[in-house]
Amino acid sequence: MTGTALLSSPGGESVWSTPYAFWDEPLAPRLTRDLVGFLRAVGPFAGVLVGEAASAPAETLVLTPRLLRFQHYVSPSAPGITVSLELSLYEPATDTVRVRATYTETVPLADPGLEAAVEAQGEAVRRIFLRFIRDVGAPAA
**pLDDT by 10s per residue, the chain, length 141:** 334 444 444 554 444 455 545 556 677 788 888 888 888 787 667 777 776 666 667 678 888 888 888 887 777 677 788 999 999 988 888 888 989 999 999 999 888 777 888 889 889 999 998 999 889 885 544
Q: Report yes or no on 2 lying in a domain.
A: no
State how far the Cα of 120 lies from the Cα of 94, in Å rounded to an integer.
Answer: 37
State how far the Cα of 18 lies from the Cα of 10, in Å rounded to an integer.
Answer: 16
| pTM of the shown model | 0.73
Count of domains in the chain?
1
Q: Report yes or no on 1 lying in a domain.
A: no
Is the distance from CB of 107 to CB of 123 less than 8 angstroms?
A: yes
The radius of gyration of the chain from alpha carbons, rounded to an integer in Å, stands at 17
Q: Report yes or no on 61 lying in a domain.
A: yes
State how far the Cα of 33 lies from the Cα of 6, in Å rounded to an integer.
Answer: 19
Check which CATH number belongs to the domain holding 77 and give it: 3.40.50.10610
State how far the Cα of 15 lies from the Cα of 37, in Å rounded to an integer.
Answer: 33
Q: Report yes or no on 114 lying in a domain.
A: yes
**Residue 123 confidence (pLDDT):** 93
Strand-strand pairing, 61-73 and 48-50: parallel
Continuous H helices in the chain:
27-40, 114-136
Give me the domain span that covers residue 124: 7-136
Q: Report yes or no on 66 lying in a domain.
A: yes
Q: Report yes or no on 29 lying in a domain.
A: yes
Number of H helices, E strands in the chain: 2, 5
